[in-house]
Amino acid sequence: MALPRNIGVRTFLNLVRSGLAASLDNPATVSDAAARLQISEYAVFERAYAQWHGSPAENDELALCFRRYLFRSTVPHWVRHYCRSANDVPAPPGTVKADGLRCLAVGAYLVVCLVLAGSLAYLY
């Protein structure tokens, strides 16, 4: 990204902050790491905490961090670090990315709805 020569410090810092906020607090990295490792997003938090701190987390502390991630899309630094290292590992063959998993889940939900609708139509 090319910056103009006469840019103010405040404008420059705002550009940096907005870029960092977009890249650092990206919840997709957690879901991508979970899909790549074939574990839940909560398990990503558990593994990240254990790797960063050297011991397993207390359930209350981990639940609070995970709740912040779910409701505010705030990702702790130790989870971002773990996700970056997990995303650098090549995915095993046949692994579906997180977006693909969402599509599969929606498709499965629609199939179940259609089967239930067909069953109800048959009963009545």
DSSP per residue, 87-108 = HHSPPPTTPPPHHHHHHHHHHH
pLDDT per residue, tens digit, the chain (124 aa), is: 555 666 777 776 776 666 655 554 555 588 888 988 899 999 999 999 999 999 998 888 999 999 999 998 889 999 998 998 886 665 555 555 544 545 455 556 656 656 666 665 666 6
Q: Against a cut of 0.85, is the pTM above it? A: no
Q: What is d(CA 41, CA 35) in angstroms, rounded to the nearest whole number? A: 8
| Contact status, residue 53 vs residue 27, Cβ threshold 8 Å | no
Name the packing angle between helices 41-53 and 59-72 (round to 10°): 130
Q: What whole-number distance in Å separates Cα of residue 87 and Cα of residue 71?
A: 23
